Amino acid sequence: MIQNLLQTPIEYLKGVGPNRADLLKKELGIETYRDLINFFPNRYIDKTGFYKISQLQRNTSEVQIVGKIVHMKMVEQKRGKRLVADFVDDTGRIKLVWFRGQKWIRENLKLNTPYVIFGKTNWYNGVFSMPHPEMELVADYKRNLRTAMQPVYPSTEMLLKKGITNRVIMKLMQEVLQQTGLKFSESLNSDLIQELKLIAKSEALFNIHFPKSQELLAKAQFRLKFEELFFIQLQLLRKNMLHKQKIKGFNFEQIGDHFSGFYENHLPFELTNAQKRVIKEIRSDMGTGAHMNRLLQGDVGSGKTIVGLMSMLIALDNGFQACLMAPTEILSIQHYNGLAELCSDLNIEIRLLTGSTKTSERKEIHEKLENGEIDILIGTHALLEDKVQFKNLGLAIIDEQHRFGVAQRAKLWKKNQIPPHVLVMTATPIPRTLAMSLYGDLDISVIDELPPGRKPIKTVHRYDSNRLKVFRFIRDEIEKGRQVYVVYPLIQESEKMDYKDLMDGYESIAREFPEFQISIVHGQMKPADKDYEMDRFLKRETQIMVATTVIEVGVNVPNASVMIIESAERFGLSQLHQLRGRVGRGAEQSYCILMTGHKLSADSKTRLETMTATNDGFEIAEVDLKLRGPGDLMGTQQSGVLNLKIADIVKDNSILSTARHYASQLLKKDPNLELEQNRSIKNAYARLVKNKTIWNYIS
């Protein structure tokens, strides 16, 4: 039975043994025959074509040539000797060079006999040369069983040190494919295979390791990438489906006075079409009796808060409470102030609970919450404490969800017998392809337009040599009554880095602008001191705020119109975008100035060009994904999420969309994979879930 054979420990494969098995397990995670077969090459050396010497180009590509050695000689050099041979075909001549093993090579090479040589070419003094070529007699070349394209597998220093070279891995791969007789059971149904014109599983696995041609390699890659992404999407979509079937949610059928009254009489501005669409999606979610689990993405300033409030009002109309949890005290206070102002004319009790809420007030909040007198509770992690008990929590909103772990979110769930509806909000736009894979089990809503009247922020890049002009510009803006942020990447200068540190920056700004008041905020300050400085800036007691990135997610200061980011090349794209979003919150024109030195890497240049070219967070997130890859983008706790064997979320996003489409179609027709025609998919799916080879990431 092929499945049993694939479970065989790798040490039993001819050419492995216990020591090599240990190394393969430690270095590459290969424990069984199946693991080895699913260890795919990361590139190929194409030996399908032959070059004539006259066709060689001055690049360092690898080429294959047929010809003869006509002459060999030893050449003295500073250290030791080298062996040089003249190799010719009917169009020209090239030098072959060996720096070691000359004696053996001289004794074994035959003059005037046809050879196939393969290697990298160098161009020097008008002559092509090839150091240490691979050589094979034409007679042997024709006899040997081989693939024209040679796979190159990922490796590590330790493997090479212990003699497990690419050639060794190729031999093991040939051995394991021969032992299995290429009889791999099919993992997709015949409809999919026909519709997408996929090659068979066995053919794909053979051609991914030993491609017979470029065309077959492309077909094998498409088949295996599609399959990998298909099963991931199948799991995410099934999880979402089962979630909706299993977990009953509150049925909010009423749209009453709170929602309608606010919408008709107290809405401070006209909603954008995107906001209306998202509120509709949330209303329909909460009115189905299934549990809502929705991710709301919106760029900085797109008006997620008002959508959050109107969702809470639906809960209140149905006799339930709501809560909003934010990652920092500053942010939760900002939410509280904003919502309290919006609801000032409604008969609603809103309270704030954070780590620094006084004990007496805390006690009162706990009591009022349990007897249902508080309608909306806003706060930080303090909401998760066991003492915090709601009378009937109907909706939980989580802001900036990537800052909360899974366990913390689960705690909110357990506040009720029936879990509350969950709305997760983020101002860090996630590219669609990544969202489909990380949050495939959440329904996703996107607010993709900014409220009217918002002027786009003007972003420019300036070098340190233009600093005096920038200072003049700051003075002009402050004299118009505006305020300015200056953000630095570091707090204490490290000896090796010549980046300006915060204190130097603070002193130079204080020297430059003696007539203005300056606030300073950084991560090592006590929260109370931080809040005090932020508050002074908010009240316009200070004109300039010098800070580190702690203000990335933070206060809303509509009067601040200039954001200066020092050493901007040291920030990632999403961070630059978040920082820029601190300005542009009022009616005035706002500016973001990216300051850098003259030495910039290619990636830094791309980031700065992207920032000056667009204000669209989703566009920026796509560039960020291409530059950094998905692991980095999601931060450390989630970087293992995208441990894919062959697909690449960035490059293969069209295959990902196709896979999601077909997975979704399949589940509509056969939600439990019970139909006979889907048996192969069901078996493969069950095996993957059992072996935990599909991501078991629950967002």
Angstrom distance (rounded) from CA 342 to CA 218:
57
94 has which bridge partners? 87
Residues 556 and 418 in one domain: no
In a domain, 237, yes or no: no
d(CA 603, CA 416): 48
Out of 147, 182, 205, a domain closes at 147
Domain count, the chain: 3
Taking a C-beta distance cutoff of 8 angstroms, is the pair 40, 645 a contact?
yes
Q: Is 390 part of a structural domain of the chain? A: yes
Half-sphere exposure for 179 (CA within 13 Å, toward CB) = 23
Does 679 fall in a domain? no
Distance CA 160, CA 422 (A): 50
Mark whether 516 and 419 lie in a shared domain.
no
Indicate whether 501 and 598 sit together in one domain.
yes
Same domain, 266 and 399: yes
Mark whether 267 and 370 lie in a shared domain. Answer: yes
List all residues 6 or more positions away from 299 whose beta carbon is below 8 Å from its beta carbon.
Answer: 427, 429, 447, 448, 450, 581, 616, 617, 618
Chunked into runs of 10 residues, the chain (699 residues) has average pLDDT values of 84 92 93 93 83 82 90 87 94 92 87 92 86 89 70 90 89 92 90 95 93 88 94 88 81 90 89 94 90 86 90 96 89 89 91 92 94 94 89 90 62 77 84 70 82 85 94 95 89 45 85 94 80 88 88 72 93 87 85 94 92 88 78 44 73 86 94 93 88 47
Which letter, b or e, does each residue of 90-104 get, where b requires 16 or more Cβ atoms within 10 Å of its Cβ?
Answer: eeeebebebeeebee
C-alpha triplet 284, 287, 292: angle, nearest 5°: 75
Looking at residue 212, its amino acid is K
Structure tokens at 339: 């919502």
- 336 in any annotated domain: yes
What's the confidence (pLDDT) of residue 693?
56
Give the CATH number of the domain where residue 571 resides. Answer: 3.40.50.300
User: Helix (H, G, I), strand (E, B), or coil: what is residue 9?
Assistant: strand
Beta strand pairing call for 122-124 and 127-131: antiparallel
Q: End of a domain among 147, 175, 205? A: 147
> Is residue 421 situated within a structural domain?
yes
Residue 394 near residue 315 (C-beta atoms within 8 A)? yes
Show the DSSP H helices in 287-405 as ranges.
304-317, 329-342, 359-370
CATH code of the domain containing 92: 2.40.50.140
Which residue, 226, 214, 199, is CA-closest to 662?
226
Buried b / exposed e across 335-374, counting CB within 10 Å, b at 16+?
bbeebeebbeebebebbbbbeebeeeebeebeebbeeeeb
DSSP character for 74? E
Choose one of 614, 646, 665: the last residue of a domain.
Answer: 614
What six digits make up the tokens of 329?
């005290």
**Left if phi > 0, otherwise alpha if psi is -120 to 50, otherwise beta: which for 426?**
beta
Residues counted in the chain: 699
Q: Are residues 268 and 386 in the same domain?
A: yes
Q: Are residues 467 and 414 in the same domain?
A: no
Angstrom distances, CA of residue 499 to CA of 488, 496, 505, 666? 9, 9, 10, 55
pLDDT at 404: 59
475 and 600 together in one domain: yes
Are residues 124 and 271 located together in one domain of the fold?
no
Q: Does 132 fall in a domain?
A: yes
Helix (H, G, I), strand (E, B) or coil at 151: strand
Q: Determine the structural domain holding residue 123 and report its residue range.
A: 49-147
Strand 421-426 vs strand 393-399: parallel, antiparallel, or unpaired?
parallel
Secondary structure string (H, E, C) spanning 347-366: CCCEEEECCCCCHHHHHHHH
Query: SS3 of 86, please?
Result: strand
| Residue 228 to residue 220: CA distance in whole angstroms | 12
Max CA separation in the chain (angstroms): 100
Burial class of residue 72, CB neighbours in 10 A (0-12, 13-18, 19+): middle
265 & 338 share domain: yes
CA distances from 163 to 16, 19, 159, 343 (A): 12, 12, 6, 71
Q: At what angle do helices 214-246 and 201-209 cross, to 10 degrees?
A: 130
Structure tokens at 555: 């206060």
Rounded Cα distance between 55 and 75, Å, is 28
Q: Which stretches of 19-139 are assigned E, i.e. beta strand?
A: 43-46, 62-76, 81-89, 92-98, 115-120, 122-124, 127-131, 134-137
- In the chain, the amino acid numbered 32 is T
Query: Both tokens of residue 699?
Result: 């967002």
Is there a domain that residue 135 lies in? yes
Do 503 and 583 belong to one domain? yes
Q: Could you tell me which residues come within 8 angstroms of residue 538 by beta carbon, excluding any fewer than 6 positions away?
A: 555, 557
On whether both 404 and 519 belong to a single domain, the answer is: no
CA dist 611 → 206, 374, 463, 561, 574 (Å)? 45, 43, 15, 17, 10
Residue 402 included in any domain: yes
Provide the 10 A C-beta neighbour count for residue 82: 16
